[in-house]
Amino acid sequence: MPSTATDTGLTADRPTAAGADQRTGPGAESVGAGAGPIAGPGTAPSFRPTRITAECRGGRARFTELDQGHYLAPRPVRGAFPAAPNHVRVALIGIHMMLLGGDDVRLQVRVGPGTVLEVVEPAGMVAYDADGVASRWTLDAQLGEGAALIWEGAPFIAADGANVHRSTRISLAAGARALVREALVLGRSGEQGGDLRSITRLTGPDGDLLYEDLDLTGPRRRAVGVLGGTKVLAGATAAGWRPGPLPVGPTSELSGTEVPGGGTARRFDLAADGAVLRALTDSAHRADRQLDAGWKAWKDELLGRSGPA
């Protein structure tokens, strides 16, 4: 299996803003150091990760750590739907241009027992032309017993000349659940797209729930059974429980009926408790249309509610 180290030894090539705000939002209990690169004696500097910890205390969820990283600042937000006492939301706000060659974006997330954490990416991310110089994006999440993580990712775009490694690792304790949405896009408008390697590993108390190594580098991306002639691979992954049947109706794109220029979203059940909903299309907008109904249904099911998200 390929290794997915979080410390990559990539060197810092841009200064950070002096005096950047490190803490925000109610319930943030610990204050971190500056958001610049970290370097120990005799080691190459690495970029400071963004850290988020949510826990239930006194019957209510709160953030016990909101640590701004070199690239991303976590900001607590309210949703349109009233949240349960054990449910908190946070948005990831970009504070530096990214991803350029040598960038190393790291996120460390901890969700305490019985706590629901919802993470939203308000804007997509582009891995820019770096003449093949590698960049990385890494999520490492730990979920306590009965915890839940909802990760609503925005499109992740590998522009021409990019060389990016994306790693998502989520560890679930007993009774924990995860719901993750992502969209991988090869190239901006008119581009073929650069190299992208994406590894997703979800583990539970008894071992792996899902291990996926998606190699979209060189000619592999166009192979039969990978992307073929499409450029967007989008999906929603549920782990820790088996979602119910998907909504199907005359306007639904989850029914398996072809839509012009877009294909269909398909469900695949995992061997363990969980499922993957996947769409292959030629645009991120079409992927959103194909996934939205299924994503909402699974999110409502995880939260035990009905009505608007």
Per-residue pLDDT band for 258 (boundaries 50, 70, 90) equals very low
- pLDDT at position 254 is 53
Read off the pLDDT of each residue in 214-237 and give the average, rounded to a whole number.
Answer: 83
pLDDT of 249 over the 90 cut? no
> pLDDT tens-digit profile of 262-308?
457 899 999 999 999 999 998 889 999 999 999 999 999 999 975 44
| 72-81, 182-191, 226-235, 268-277 — most confident range | 268-277
Higher pLDDT, 42 or 186: 186
What's the pLDDT at 155? 96
18-32, 132-146, 149-163, 174-188 — which is least confidently predicted?
18-32
pLDDT score recorded for residue 248: 66
Tell me the mean pLDDT in the region 178-189. 94
Please determine, for residue 17, whether its predicted confidence score (pLDDT) is greater than 70.
Answer: no
Look at 279 and 29; give whichever has higher pLDDT.
Answer: 279
Looking at residue 191, its pLDDT comes to 85
The pLDDT of residue 103: 96
Residue 33 has pLDDT above 50, yes or no: no
What DSSP assignment string belongs to the chain?
A: -----S---PPP-SPPPTT-----STT-------SS-B--TTS--BPPPEEEEEEEETTEEEEEEEE--SSEEEEE---SSPPPTTEEEEEEEE-S----TT-EEEEEEEE-TT-EEEEE--S-EEE---TT--EEEEEEEEE-TT-EEEEEEEEEEE-TT-EEEEEEEEEE-TT-EEEEEEEEEESSTT----EEEEEEEEEETTEEEEEEEEEESGGGGGSTTTTTT--EEEEEEEESS---PPP--TT-S-SS--BTTTB-EEEEE-SSSEEEEEEEESSHHHHHHHHHHHHHHHHHHHHT--S--
What does the mean pLDDT of the chain come to? 82
Higher pLDDT, 11 or 47: 47
Any idea which of 154-168, 202-216, 255-269 has the lowest mean pLDDT? 255-269
Residue range 62-119, pLDDT digits in tens? 999 999 999 999 999 987 677 899 999 999 999 988 999 999 999 999 999 999 999 9
